[in-house]
Amino acid sequence: MAEWSKAHDSKSCISERVSRVRIPPSPPNCTFSKIVKQLREKTGLSQEKLAQLADVSNNTIINIEAGKQNNPTIETLKKIAKALEVGVDDLIK
């Protein structure tokens, strides 16, 4: 747990460096929706821009971040991960 606290603040589900780096495991209270939202905000993308980059609908991103879509297809996960420049495993920890 000490390793986690060095790389993250208590409210974040992601590390300070989000692009092309290995993200340490998320704390238990971090959900897929929180991770996607925090990564999107950290990279300065709007929901609409992330949807465009990932080639998914804006409603898909909105529903994921709202926790209404917790089981997206693997293709959607891959597209979002690529747009955020992280691995799929970083989204679903």
For the chain, give every domain's residue range: 31-93
Q: Which residue is listed with tokens 């089981």? A: 71
- Cα distances from 71 to residues 6, 63, 65, 67, 68, in angstroms, run 31, 11, 12, 10, 9
Its pTM stands at 0.72
Tokens of 29: 């209270």
Mean pLDDT of the chain: 79
Cα-Cα-Cα-Cα torsion 3, 74, 50, 90, nearest 10 degrees, comes to 10
| pLDDT tens-digit map of 41-91 | 999 999 999 999 999 999 999 999 998 988 899 999 999 999 999 999 888
| pLDDT value of residue 28 | 54
The region of weakest confidence among 9-13, 24-28, 79-83 is 24-28
Q: Report, at the CATH architecture level, how domain 31-93 is classified.
A: Orthogonal Bundle (1.10)
